[in-house]
Amino acid sequence: MKQADAHTQLLESSELKETKSYRWSSVIAPFLFPALGGLLYGYDIGATSSASLSLESSSLSGTNWYDLSSLQIGLVESGSLYGALIGSLLAFTLADFLGRRRELISAAAFYILGAGLQAGASSFVFLLTGRLVYGLGIGMAMHGAPMYIAETCPEEIRGTLVSMKEGLIVLGMLLGYLTGYLTVDTVGGWRITYGVGAPIAVVVAVGMWWLPSSPRWLLLRACKGKADMKVSQEKAMAALRRLRGKEIEEHAISSQVEETLQSLQSVHDEASFLEIFEGSSLKALIIGGGLVLFQQITGQPSVLYYAASIFQSAGFSAASDATRVSVILGFFKLLMTLFAVWKVDKLGRRPLLIGGVSGLICALFLLALYYAFAQGASALAVVALLLYVGSYQVSFGPISWLMVSEIFPLRTRGRALSIAVLLNFASNAVVTFAFSPLKELLGTAGTFLMFGIIGVVALLFVIFKVPETKGLSLEEIEAKLSA
């Protein structure tokens, strides 16, 4: 009864609270340094596409082990993905112990070590080891960054900032494509391409060392008996003062600390594994897990596989060079992501998801139509491709990561989010692996038709299962799911 009353008070507070003041100059650093961890994930995607070309060249590789088999190249290209899966498992075990800040410092350390191993690799084994270590950084960064940003930023702009992290992932892809393009004709250029990630990771490590711990994590740790409550409250308030700037009123800081403690009043120990699959945590896991799953199984990696051939069929001169096509699409992805960033805290999460997934479905059915009946109509394919990319970048791209960062109860957030991240990378790996067999079994048109049907299921999931979280504090979202 007492817990239900607390939930009611939290829900009512959303209607009564005043707009909190904050300084943008104070908000930028707690967003930027974690988000650079996402940029390094995007950079790896862009860099690997061109680095593998350099690595295989007898004249440009600069090694005597350039003659790699298709299996070895596949391991190089997907090595960081497997590392990210392991990193997600590490996050499940260590995230709440380390805290969001130290988790991101650890991710930066893995990035630095992985980039160094790749750049200095003297054999295929060393290169693959570097890919796996770098992937550990990806897994931990993609877990820690959205949590740190969501837990430290004002709720009025939480959607904007967490979605902007997706913008930095796309910016990282562009940086990777550009670096690869500039070094592709240099002997050993793949070493430079992979090594560029190291100095960026140093910036992440230094920045996260300077930033305070998440106030919500400090209070969670105290409620679990891992730290003195009075000391933790003082640290949480000091952290909030740094995160909001000097203009924020003291009563607003006290109010947020009290609100967080109220949501944690029943927390006295570590959440068990089974607790993740109970009550509001299970409801949040279904929503978050469903979003990151549909993010991948609606064909996102597969559609982009056809980008170069679609542009080429339309007669675009840039299509003669796959790296230039990637840059064109990268800029378009960034533009549409910025649109989502601009609108997410004005329109809300659900309108962007519903509109974007609807556009994504139309694009997939158009691509199926093109490959089945209309391969002479190249303009149709280009329109469908751009519609798919644009729709994805205003919906599943940024909104999925935003919602998984904000819907889980604080008590189980670290472990539950690691399951969502693990599901995202695992489904990405399955879709990437299964694409060729599916294309052989169903044909290209049939494969896109299948993705379109899955998209319809995803749209129904969004309409009936995904709540609106715009403008609510994390504690209010928790109360909403518990009601």
**Tens of pLDDT along 50-103?**
788 788 888 888 888 888 887 888 788 888 989 999 999 998 888 888 999 999
Most confident of 118-127, 182-191, 235-244, 472-481: 118-127
CATH superfamily of 271-483: MFS general substrate transporter like domains (1.20.1250.20)
Q: Is the pLDDT of residue 184 over 70?
A: yes
Q: Over the stretch 222-246, which tens digit does the pLDDT of each residue have?
A: 888 888 889 999 999 999 888 887 6
Q: What is the DSSP string of 37-79?
A: HHHHHHHHHHHHHHHHHHHH-TTTS-SS-----HHHHHHHHHH
More confident residue, 22 or 59: 59
More confident residue, 458 or 425: 458
> Residue 336 in contact with residue 390, Cβ under 8 Å?
yes
Q: Over the stretch 96-141, which tens digit does the pLDDT of each residue have?
A: 889 999 999 999 999 999 999 999 999 999 999 999 999 999 999 9
How much is the pLDDT for 321?
A: 55
pLDDT band at 312 (very low <50, low <70, confident <90, very high): low
CATH 1.20.1250.20 positions along the chain are: 1-13+23-270, 271-483
How much is the pLDDT for 274?
A: 83
Give the amino acid at 481.
Answer: L
Residue with tokens 């079994």: 441
Question: Residue 431's CB: how many other CB atoms inside 10 A?
Answer: 18
Q: Give the C-alpha separation, 121 to 193, whole Å.
A: 13
Q: Is the pLDDT of residue 15 over 50?
A: no
CATH number of 1-13+23-270: 1.20.1250.20
**Cα–chain-centroid distance for residue 158?**
15
Residue with tokens 């600390």: 257
Q: Is the pLDDT of residue 320 over 50?
A: no
Q: Over the stretch 260-304, which tens digit does the pLDDT of each residue have?
A: 888 777 666 666 778 888 888 999 999 999 999 999 999 887 777
State the virtual CA torsion across 472, 459, 366, 400 in degrees, nearest 10.
40
